[in-house]
Structure 1
Amino acid sequence: MTLVRFEPLRELEDFSSQIQKYFDELPFMFSGRVESFTPKFDIYEDNENLYVDVEIPGMKKEELKLTLEDNILTLEGEKKVSEDLKNKKFYRNERMFGSFKRSFTLPVEVDNEKIEAKYDNGVLNIKFHKLDAQPKNERTIEVQ
């Protein structure tokens, strides 16, 4: 008698793949999706600045609201379905739409007065001037 190893997770993955394939081959029956649009962020720094890049394709800069309060960055907006697509029959609808609001604390203290934001080709680039944790040059002050 030969023993066959039973792998329930493998069986479940195969079943899930078959179901997904079935739905992928059907015409898409809904004009919207349950999921909503969520912009993706990259955060990085150099010696003087902190940078935040956000992918927000298909929006206008006027549709975005960007705020910084107590070192918490908040981006909000709504990615809307264009009017000419609202009553169409979709065979596939993979783009995401909807309202979004993302907030997070910046990893370093920044100067609220030295912030630049530019939106180009679907990417929002934000540049923050970092506040020094310690003075760069120590100076002795003469007491009189």
Structure 2
Amino acid sequence: MRNLQLALIGVPIGLLGVFLKDASEIRTSGFFNGYTPIVWVIVILQACGGLAIAFVMRYADNILKGFSMGLSVILSTFISYFLFDDFAPNIFLFVGSILVISATVLYGLPSKHNPISTVCPDANKVIVCN
């Protein structure tokens, strides 16, 4: 629901800016003039990425989203190394990648802390949580 509310505000403001700047060009050539197949691929990837983030946030938590974003940057960097000739990774990339992967692995390990006991508000029972 929040996304719909944001879209109801953002879309009209964005369209206002587009039409104030390029109204004559849009009238003559159309709104999607200049969109190449690679642009459509990028648009579709961004839309799928947004849906994937919504899915992660629905069934996981914000911390997991942060780790998945870090891993996606590492994966994108790895793929870029093979796709683009002028890509030159440096030491900061390697150190950052090691930190992100290490943090992700450590987060996924089972906790060694003692269980936390909480009081159930309905029945005054003590529940042991893992």
TM over 0.5: no
TM-score with structure 2 setting the length: 0.25
Larger helix proportion of the pair: 2
TM-score with structure 1 setting the length: 0.23
